[in-house]
Amino acid sequence: MIIEKNPKVLREYGRAVAHINAVEFLLTIVITQKAGISEKAADALFSDMMIGKKIEIVKKLKLVDSHIVKHLWKLNEKRKLLAHGVTSVTIEWERAMKDQVDIVYKKQKKPLTEEFLSETTNGAKEIFVKLFEELCKFLDKPN
């Protein structure tokens, strides 16, 4: 299975990446709002910052619950697999021809399946909702 020849896997891959990007975007808003950073400063600070650094910021400043931080780290590990493992030469092409693609990034290895991608998408959706709830609670507080 070469990913381009499997529309279901390719579609799930796109969905997973899109939902991870949405989480990262919302994470930036949470940091900006809760830390009181101006929009201009936020653009300068966060435009090139990776999600891992943003997670470190929310952890160090205790901007979100530690449970959410834990799930953000797990999502980031999956993001690294999807972002770096699929696009790198570490895909085992011999196995790919036999309908099995393993994505490998550093010491991590996962089969590239609809299930893995759906799990990643659903996890990103859950984290997005939790981050959104945290942001709404913060914005609803009287100053």
Mean pLDDT (the chain) is 85
Specify the pLDDT at position 116.
87
Here the tokens at position 76 are 């980031």
Q: Report which residue type is found at 136.
A: C
pLDDT value of position 18:
95
DSSP 83: I
| pLDDT tens digits, 67-79 | 999 999 999 999 9
Name the 3-class secondary structure at 104: strand
Return d(Cα 2, Cα 9) in angstroms, integer.
10
Q: How far apart (Å, rounded) are the C-alpha atoms in residues 139 and 136?
A: 5
Residue type, 109: K
In this prediction, residue 39 carries a pLDDT of 87
pLDDT score of 15: 93
More confident residue, 62 or 12: 62
pLDDT above 90 covers a percentage of the chain that reads: 57
Radius of gyration in angstroms for the set of CA atoms belonging to the chain, rounded to a whole number: 17
Asked whether the beta carbons of 131 and 122 are under 8 A apart, the reply is no
Which is nearest to 82 in space by CA: 66, 102, 62? 102
* Angstrom distance (rounded) from CA 31 to CA 16: 23
Longest dimension (CA), the chain: 60
pLDDT tens-digit readout, 89-143: 444 545 554 556 677 777 777 777 788 889 999 999 999 999 999 999 999 977 5
Pair of tokens at residue 63? 């901007």
